[in-house]
Structure 1
Protein backbone atom coordinates (compact mmCIF):
# COMPACT_ATOMS: atom_id res chain seq x y z
CA UNK A 1 0.00 0.00 0.00
CA UNK A 2 1.39 3.39 -1.01
CA UNK A 3 0.69 6.26 1.38
CA UNK A 4 2.40 8.98 3.40
CA UNK A 5 3.84 9.07 6.89
CA UNK A 6 3.47 12.47 8.54
CA UNK A 7 5.26 13.66 11.64
CA UNK A 8 3.22 15.48 14.25
CA UNK A 9 4.03 17.21 17.52
CA UNK A 10 1.96 18.39 20.44
CA UNK A 11 3.33 21.97 20.40
CA UNK A 12 0.00 23.70 19.82
CA UNK A 13 -2.46 20.97 20.77
CA UNK A 14 -4.66 21.17 23.85
CA UNK A 15 -3.56 19.21 26.92
CA UNK A 16 -5.54 16.15 25.84
CA UNK A 17 -3.37 15.92 22.69
CA UNK A 18 -3.65 16.05 18.93
CA UNK A 19 -5.32 12.67 18.37
CA UNK A 20 -7.86 13.03 21.21
CA UNK A 21 -8.82 16.50 19.98
CA UNK A 22 -9.34 15.23 16.44
CA UNK A 23 -11.30 12.22 17.70
CA UNK A 24 -13.69 14.55 19.55
CA UNK A 25 -14.59 16.19 16.22
CA UNK A 26 -15.08 12.75 14.64
CA UNK A 27 -17.53 11.82 17.43
CA UNK A 28 -19.50 14.98 16.69
CA UNK A 29 -19.41 15.06 12.86
CA UNK A 30 -18.29 11.60 11.73
CA UNK A 31 -15.07 13.03 10.30
CA UNK A 32 -12.33 15.58 10.99
CA UNK A 33 -9.92 17.48 8.76
CA UNK A 34 -6.22 17.04 9.57
CA UNK A 35 -3.97 19.72 8.13
CA UNK A 36 -0.43 19.20 6.87
CA UNK A 37 1.70 22.30 7.37
CA UNK A 38 3.74 23.59 4.46
CA UNK A 39 3.61 22.20 0.97
CA UNK A 40 0.88 19.83 -0.15
CA UNK A 41 1.45 16.25 -1.17
CA UNK A 42 1.41 16.00 -4.94
CA UNK A 43 -1.80 15.27 -6.83
CA UNK A 44 -0.27 11.96 -7.94
CA UNK A 45 0.54 10.92 -4.36
CA UNK A 46 -2.94 11.96 -3.19
CA UNK A 47 -4.46 9.93 -6.02
CA UNK A 48 -2.30 6.88 -5.19
CA UNK A 49 -3.40 7.01 -1.55
CA UNK A 50 -7.08 7.26 -2.40
CA UNK A 51 -6.83 4.27 -4.80
CA UNK A 52 -6.06 1.94 -1.87
CA UNK A 53 -8.86 -0.37 -0.69
CA UNK A 54 -8.53 1.26 2.75
CA UNK A 55 -7.01 4.72 2.18
CA UNK A 56 -4.99 5.82 5.17
CA UNK A 57 -1.93 7.71 6.28
CA UNK A 58 0.49 7.09 9.11
CA UNK A 59 0.96 9.72 11.83
CA UNK A 60 4.29 9.57 13.66
CA UNK A 61 4.64 11.42 16.95
CA UNK A 62 7.92 13.37 16.77
CA UNK A 63 10.06 12.48 19.74
CA UNK A 64 7.51 9.95 20.98
CA UNK A 65 6.45 6.37 20.42
CA UNK A 66 2.85 6.96 19.29
CA UNK A 67 1.99 5.84 15.76
CA UNK A 68 -1.51 6.13 14.35
CA UNK A 69 -3.22 4.95 11.18
CA UNK A 70 -5.68 7.58 9.99
CA UNK A 71 -8.40 6.11 7.80
CA UNK A 72 -9.26 8.80 5.27
CA UNK A 73 -11.73 9.36 2.46
CA UNK A 74 -10.63 12.68 0.96
CA UNK A 75 -7.56 14.84 0.38
CA UNK A 76 -7.79 18.48 -0.65
CA UNK A 77 -5.62 21.56 -0.99
CA UNK A 78 -8.18 24.26 -0.25
CA UNK A 79 -9.17 25.02 3.34
CA UNK A 80 -12.21 22.94 4.33
CA UNK A 81 -15.19 24.32 6.28
CA UNK A 82 -14.12 25.44 9.76
CA UNK A 83 -16.52 23.21 11.67
CA UNK A 84 -14.54 20.11 10.59
CA UNK A 85 -11.21 21.57 11.75
CA UNK A 86 -10.26 21.34 15.45
CA UNK A 87 -10.68 24.78 16.99
CA UNK A 88 -7.08 25.04 18.18
CA UNK A 89 -5.78 25.49 14.64
CA UNK A 90 -8.67 27.01 12.72
CA UNK A 91 -7.00 30.44 12.78
CA UNK A 92 -3.88 28.92 11.16
CA UNK A 93 -5.78 27.03 8.45
CA UNK A 94 -4.28 29.10 5.63
CA UNK A 95 -0.79 27.84 6.62
CA UNK A 96 -1.70 24.25 5.76
CA UNK A 97 -0.95 23.10 2.23
CA UNK A 98 -3.00 19.95 2.33
CA UNK A 99 -5.95 18.52 4.24
CA UNK A 100 -6.87 14.90 4.94
CA UNK A 101 -10.44 13.99 5.94
CA UNK A 102 -10.12 11.36 8.66
CA UNK A 103 -12.98 9.04 9.54
CA UNK A 104 -11.15 6.96 12.15
CA UNK A 105 -7.89 6.71 14.08
CA UNK A 106 -6.34 3.32 14.79
CA UNK A 107 -3.25 2.81 16.93
CA UNK A 108 -0.57 1.29 14.69
CA UNK A 109 1.38 -1.78 15.69
CA UNK A 110 4.61 -0.98 17.61
CA UNK A 111 6.86 -2.13 14.75
CA UNK A 112 4.89 -0.39 11.98
CA UNK A 113 7.84 1.76 10.87
CA UNK A 114 9.93 -1.33 10.16
CA UNK A 115 7.21 -2.41 7.70
CA UNK A 116 7.39 0.85 5.73
CA UNK A 117 9.87 1.58 2.94
CA UNK A 118 10.51 5.18 1.87
CA UNK A 119 9.94 5.44 -1.88
CA UNK A 120 12.63 8.05 -2.59
CA UNK A 121 15.50 6.25 -0.86
CA UNK A 122 14.39 2.63 -0.53
CA UNK A 123 15.28 2.82 3.19
CA UNK A 124 13.14 1.47 5.99
CA UNK A 125 11.14 4.29 7.61
CA UNK A 126 12.65 3.60 11.05
CA UNK A 127 16.10 4.51 9.73
CA UNK A 128 15.03 7.24 7.30
CA UNK A 129 13.08 9.17 9.94
CA UNK A 130 16.03 9.16 12.36
CA UNK A 131 18.32 10.73 9.79
CA UNK A 132 15.96 13.22 8.17
CA UNK A 133 14.16 16.38 9.21
CA UNK A 134 11.51 15.85 6.54
CA UNK A 135 7.98 16.44 7.85
CA UNK A 136 6.62 13.61 5.70
CA UNK A 137 7.66 10.57 3.71
CA UNK A 138 5.99 8.80 0.79
CA UNK A 139 6.03 5.15 1.80
CA UNK A 140 5.07 1.64 0.78
CA UNK A 141 3.60 -0.31 3.70
CA UNK A 142 3.80 -4.08 3.68
CA UNK A 143 2.00 -5.80 6.55
CA UNK A 144 3.91 -8.92 7.52
Structure 2
Protein backbone atom coordinates (compact mmCIF):
# COMPACT_ATOMS: atom_id res chain seq x y z
CA UNK A 1 0.00 0.00 0.00
CA UNK A 2 1.29 3.45 -0.93
CA UNK A 3 0.63 6.21 1.57
CA UNK A 4 2.46 8.84 3.60
CA UNK A 5 4.03 9.00 7.03
CA UNK A 6 3.64 12.34 8.81
CA UNK A 7 5.56 13.50 11.84
CA UNK A 8 3.63 15.14 14.63
CA UNK A 9 4.62 16.77 17.90
CA UNK A 10 2.83 17.90 21.01
CA UNK A 11 4.04 21.54 20.81
CA UNK A 12 0.56 23.03 20.40
CA UNK A 13 -1.56 20.16 21.68
CA UNK A 14 -3.69 20.37 24.80
CA UNK A 15 -2.73 18.39 27.90
CA UNK A 16 -4.45 15.21 26.68
CA UNK A 17 -2.28 15.17 23.54
CA UNK A 18 -2.78 15.36 19.80
CA UNK A 19 -4.36 11.97 19.18
CA UNK A 20 -6.68 12.15 22.20
CA UNK A 21 -7.85 15.66 21.25
CA UNK A 22 -8.65 14.48 17.73
CA UNK A 23 -10.35 11.34 19.05
CA UNK A 24 -12.69 13.48 21.16
CA UNK A 25 -13.99 15.13 17.98
CA UNK A 26 -14.46 11.73 16.30
CA UNK A 27 -16.38 10.52 19.37
CA UNK A 28 -18.63 13.59 19.17
CA UNK A 29 -19.36 13.83 15.42
CA UNK A 30 -17.89 10.73 13.73
CA UNK A 31 -14.86 12.31 12.07
CA UNK A 32 -12.13 14.91 12.59
CA UNK A 33 -9.91 16.92 10.27
CA UNK A 34 -6.19 16.40 10.91
CA UNK A 35 -4.10 19.30 9.60
CA UNK A 36 -0.64 19.14 8.04
CA UNK A 37 1.58 22.20 8.47
CA UNK A 38 3.62 23.44 5.54
CA UNK A 39 3.28 22.39 1.94
CA UNK A 40 0.36 20.15 1.01
CA UNK A 41 0.90 16.71 -0.42
CA UNK A 42 0.53 16.53 -4.20
CA UNK A 43 -2.79 15.76 -5.86
CA UNK A 44 -1.18 12.64 -7.35
CA UNK A 45 -0.15 11.27 -3.94
CA UNK A 46 -3.54 12.20 -2.44
CA UNK A 47 -5.25 10.30 -5.25
CA UNK A 48 -3.07 7.23 -4.74
CA UNK A 49 -3.84 7.18 -1.02
CA UNK A 50 -7.58 7.56 -1.51
CA UNK A 51 -7.66 4.76 -4.12
CA UNK A 52 -6.53 2.25 -1.50
CA UNK A 53 -9.07 -0.24 -0.21
CA UNK A 54 -8.63 1.21 3.30
CA UNK A 55 -7.03 4.67 2.90
CA UNK A 56 -4.83 5.57 5.84
CA UNK A 57 -1.79 7.60 6.76
CA UNK A 58 0.87 6.85 9.35
CA UNK A 59 1.39 9.41 12.14
CA UNK A 60 4.82 9.31 13.80
CA UNK A 61 5.35 11.13 17.09
CA UNK A 62 8.61 13.11 16.79
CA UNK A 63 10.99 12.17 19.57
CA UNK A 64 8.69 9.57 21.10
CA UNK A 65 7.38 6.08 20.41
CA UNK A 66 3.79 6.96 19.40
CA UNK A 67 2.79 5.53 16.02
CA UNK A 68 -0.80 5.61 14.76
CA UNK A 69 -2.66 4.74 11.59
CA UNK A 70 -5.24 7.40 10.78
CA UNK A 71 -8.00 5.89 8.64
CA UNK A 72 -9.16 8.61 6.27
CA UNK A 73 -11.99 9.30 3.86
CA UNK A 74 -10.88 12.58 2.34
CA UNK A 75 -7.96 14.92 1.67
CA UNK A 76 -8.34 18.61 0.86
CA UNK A 77 -6.38 21.84 0.80
CA UNK A 78 -9.20 24.17 1.80
CA UNK A 79 -9.63 24.79 5.52
CA UNK A 80 -12.64 22.85 6.83
CA UNK A 81 -15.52 24.78 8.37
CA UNK A 82 -16.23 22.19 11.06
CA UNK A 83 -14.80 19.03 12.60
CA UNK A 84 -11.47 20.42 13.75
CA UNK A 85 -10.13 20.27 17.33
CA UNK A 86 -10.63 23.50 19.24
CA UNK A 87 -6.89 23.96 19.82
CA UNK A 88 -6.42 24.32 16.03
CA UNK A 89 -8.70 27.37 15.86
CA UNK A 90 -6.02 30.04 16.30
CA UNK A 91 -3.61 28.49 13.81
CA UNK A 92 -5.81 26.65 11.29
CA UNK A 93 -4.71 28.92 8.43
CA UNK A 94 -1.14 27.53 8.79
CA UNK A 95 -2.31 24.07 7.75
CA UNK A 96 -2.12 23.59 3.99
CA UNK A 97 -3.47 20.05 3.78
CA UNK A 98 -6.31 18.38 5.69
CA UNK A 99 -7.07 14.70 6.21
CA UNK A 100 -10.61 13.64 7.16
CA UNK A 101 -10.03 10.94 9.79
CA UNK A 102 -12.75 8.59 10.98
CA UNK A 103 -10.59 6.29 13.16
CA UNK A 104 -7.18 6.06 14.80
CA UNK A 105 -5.45 2.73 15.31
CA UNK A 106 -2.27 2.22 17.31
CA UNK A 107 0.38 0.91 14.89
CA UNK A 108 2.60 -2.04 15.71
CA UNK A 109 5.92 -1.28 17.39
CA UNK A 110 7.82 -2.39 14.29
CA UNK A 111 5.66 -0.52 11.77
CA UNK A 112 8.51 1.72 10.62
CA UNK A 113 10.51 -1.39 9.71
CA UNK A 114 7.63 -2.38 7.41
CA UNK A 115 7.68 0.92 5.50
CA UNK A 116 10.01 1.75 2.62
CA UNK A 117 10.50 5.40 1.62
CA UNK A 118 9.63 5.69 -2.07
CA UNK A 119 12.36 8.21 -2.97
CA UNK A 120 15.32 6.42 -1.36
CA UNK A 121 14.11 2.82 -1.02
CA UNK A 122 15.37 2.92 2.60
CA UNK A 123 13.39 1.68 5.56
CA UNK A 124 11.45 4.46 7.26
CA UNK A 125 13.22 3.51 10.50
CA UNK A 126 16.55 4.80 9.22
CA UNK A 127 15.30 7.48 6.80
CA UNK A 128 13.36 9.29 9.51
CA UNK A 129 16.44 9.46 11.77
CA UNK A 130 18.53 11.33 9.24
CA UNK A 131 15.95 13.52 7.56
CA UNK A 132 14.16 16.65 8.71
CA UNK A 133 11.35 16.03 6.23
CA UNK A 134 7.91 16.52 7.80
CA UNK A 135 6.51 13.65 5.72
CA UNK A 136 7.57 10.68 3.64
CA UNK A 137 5.86 8.90 0.77
CA UNK A 138 6.02 5.25 1.79
CA UNK A 139 5.19 1.76 0.65
CA UNK A 140 3.79 -0.26 3.54
CA UNK A 141 3.83 -4.04 3.58
CA UNK A 142 1.98 -5.86 6.33
CA UNK A 143 3.72 -8.89 7.76
Q: Give the TM-score taking structure 2 as reference length.
A: 0.99
Q: Which residue pairs with 1:22 in the alignment?
A: 22
In structure 2, the gaps of 5 or more residues are: none
Question: C-alpha distance in 1, partners of 2:45/2:89?
Answer: 25
**Alignment length, in residue pairs?**
143
RMSD, aligned CA: 0.5
CA distances 1:2-38 after superposition (whole Å, capped 9, x unpaired)? 0000000001100100000000000011000000000
Q: How does 1:52-91 map to 2 (within 5 A)?
A: 52-81=52-81, 83-91=82-90
Aligned residue in 1 for 2:142: 143
Structure 2 CA distance for aligned equivalents of residues 35 and 26 of structure 1: 14
Query: What displacement does 1:75 show?
Result: 0.1
Equivalent residues in 2 for 1:1-144, closer than 5 Å? 1-81=1-81, 83-144=82-143
Question: In the TM superposition, what is the alpha-carbon distance from 1:89 to its structure 2 partner?
Answer: 1.1
1:90, 1:116 → 2: CA distance? Answer: 33
CA distance in 1, matches of 2:12, 2:95: 14
Superposition deviation, residue 40 in structure 1: 0.2
Q: Unaligned regions of 5+ residues in structure 1, if any?
A: none
Structure 1 stretches of 4+ moved >4 Å: none
- What's the TM-score once normalised by structure 1's chain length? 0.98
